[in-house]
């Protein structure tokens, strides 16, 4: 019996884009570790009018079908801000999801490559959605656990699909785990002693984020973020519109006790932000895509606020202005965040993601007893 051919076409209508965002439910049906994103957030991610990423980027979304049924998805995109920053001609792929079907996987990747080549790119990187400021990387190690908040998850077979299509490793990103109390027990006495001296020497103080003046706080965070991360691999600055959207998405999650600024004479020079792992209650609250989202959100609040099912906290961002780096501020922020996490009752912490070759940060985290327990990979292919 002849196997029907896979047909791949752009997803452009509202109905097709809805198929695009709901398809992962078919891939991960029965998977105990997968955590679905809220469909409303996924729709905004693809919306060229609502997502400020499209102010400096273009994208195409593709559906693979067999006998009319969707069997895979992929997106290809041009990030003009990235290429201006890095003087590159790089395209990207993301939203790669496919049933257990190597042929369709290869066809999807080729579709993204053809689009990127036609857009004038000479290489393609991925998976990303959409840059180092967003969720990125293919999970290649650590499949026996759910992802923490804003981290990715995928079946193990995707690695073979991508590598058999000629992609090579570009960069690995590490996620560390350590118990909160273990972290504090492993914190060298020197951090406590020298930390206070550093704060006095530079006339620095540590304070919580003020949610009542969120607009001002977001502006300060944007300045630190863009300056601190600029030298990093593949970094691209967040625009004002992008960070405002991010703040809007996170404001109901942010805990001021876990959101800290280091200031000098009233001017923020460093920030540390840890997020409660909302994936824990979300996995229990979101049983199927057809459930009305208001009900899902009520279930989420029940599992989060009433049942108190969050055991993990993720150290999401620690950034220091270049002129204050190398002074030990990152250790001070790790200490303050760990103390706050302990006081809030969190048991485990993840620090992610960390570039595999960021030796300074990796040594600092390992010194605290943390171990790499998940690896995410970015792939590259010359076009």
| 113 in Cβ contact with 100 (< 8 Å) | no
Q: Report pLDDT for 202.
A: 87
Q: Report pLDDT for 292.
A: 76
Rounded Cα distance between 165 and 227, Å, is 36
Collect all residues with Cβ–Cβ distance below 8 Å to 372 and sequence separation of at least 6: 174, 175, 176
Q: Report the run of H or E that residue 39 belongs to, with start and end.
A: helix 39-46
From 104, 95, 50, 63, select the one nearest 77 (Cα to Cα): 95
pTM of the model: 0.94
Going from the first residue of the chain to its last (383 residues), give the mean pLDDT of each consecutive group of 10, the final group possibly shorter. 78 96 94 91 94 97 96 98 96 98 97 98 96 95 96 98 98 97 87 82 92 89 92 93 88 90 93 94 75 77 74 94 89 92 95 94 89 98 97
Instruction: Give CA 180 to chain center in angstroms.
Output: 22
- ∠31-33-38 over CA atoms, to 5°? 95
Q: Report pLDDT for 1.
A: 43
Instruction: Give CA 77 to chain center in angstroms.
Output: 18
Same fold? 7-176, 178-374: yes
Residue 62 three-state SS:
strand
Residue by residue, DSSP assigns 353-373 as EEETT-HHHHHHHHHTT-EEE
Q: Report pLDDT for 299.
A: 81
| 379 in Cβ contact with 124 (< 8 Å) | no
Residue by residue, DSSP assigns 271-313 as EEEEEE-THHHHHHH---TTS-HHHHHHHHHIIIIIS----EE
Domain residue ranges in the chain: 7-176, 178-374
- The second-level CATH assignment, the architecture, of 178-374 is 3-Layer(aba) Sandwich (3.40)
The dihedral sign for the CA sequence 275, 324, 243, 205:
positive
Instruction: Give CA 263 to chain center in angstroms.
Output: 27
Collect all residues with Cβ–Cβ distance below 8 Å to 71 and sequence separation of at least 6: 6, 64, 65, 98, 99, 101, 104
Q: Report pLDDT for 76.
A: 98
Q: Report pLDDT for 300.
A: 75
Q: Given the structure tokens 């600029």, which residue do they identify?
A: 230
Q: Report pLDDT for 288.
A: 66
Q: Report pLDDT for 303.
A: 75
Per DSSP, what are the bridge partners of residue 72?
64, 98
Rounded Cα distance between 132 and 339, Å, is 28
Rounded Cα distance between 6 and 287, Å, is 30
Report whether CATH 3.40.630.30 matches the domain 7-176: yes
Residue 5: exposure state from Cβ atoms within 10 A (0-12, 13-18, ≥19)? exposed
């Amino acid at each position: 019996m002849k196997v029907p051919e896979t047909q791949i076409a752009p997803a452009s209508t509202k109905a097709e884009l809805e198929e695009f965002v709901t398809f992962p439910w078919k891939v991960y049906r029965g998977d105990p570790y997968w955590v679905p994103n809220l469909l409303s957030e996924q729709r905004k991610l693809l919306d060229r009018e609502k997502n400020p990423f499209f102010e400096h980027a273009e994208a195409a979304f593709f559906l693979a079908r067999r006998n009319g049924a969707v069997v895979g998805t992929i997106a290809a995109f041009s990030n003009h801000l990235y290429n201006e920053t890095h003087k590159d001609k790089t395209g990207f792929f993301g939203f790669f999801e496919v049933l257990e079907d190597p042929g369709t996987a290869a066809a999807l990747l080729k579709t993204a490559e053809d689009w990127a080549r036609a857009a004038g790119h000479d290489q393609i990187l991925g998976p990303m959605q959409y840059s180092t400021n967003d969720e990125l990387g293919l999970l290649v190690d650590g499949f026996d656990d759910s992802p923490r908040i804003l981290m990715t998850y995928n079946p193990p077979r995707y690695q073979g699909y991508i590598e058999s299509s000629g992609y090579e490793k570009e960069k690995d990103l590490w996620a560390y785990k350590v118990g909160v109390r273990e972290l504090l027990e492993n914190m060298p006495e020197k951090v406590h002693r020298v930390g206070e001296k550093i704060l006095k020497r530079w006339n620095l103080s540590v304070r919580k984020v003020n949610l009542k003046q969120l607009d001002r706080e977001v502006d300060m965070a944007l300045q630190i973020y863009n300056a601190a991360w600029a030298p990093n691999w593949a970094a691209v600055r967040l625009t004002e519109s992008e960070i405002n959207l991010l703040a809007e998405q996170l404001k109901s999650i942010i805990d001021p006790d876990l959101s800290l600024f280091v200031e000098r004479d009233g001017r923020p020079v460093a920030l540390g932000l840890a997020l409660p792992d909302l994936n824990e209650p979300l996995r229990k609250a979101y049983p199927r895509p057809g459930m009305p989202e208001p009900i899902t959100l009520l279930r989420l609040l029940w599992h989060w606020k009433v049942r108190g099912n969050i055991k993990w906290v993720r150290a999401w961002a620690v950034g220091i202005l270049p002129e204050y780096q190398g002074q030990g501020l990152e250790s001070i922020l790790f200490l303050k965040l760990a103390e706050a996490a302990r006081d809030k009752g969190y048991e485990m912490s993840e620090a992610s993601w960390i570039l595999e070759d960021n030796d300074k940060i990796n040594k600092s985290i390992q010194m605290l007893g943390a171990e790499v327990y998940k690896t995410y990979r970015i792939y590259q292919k010359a076009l």
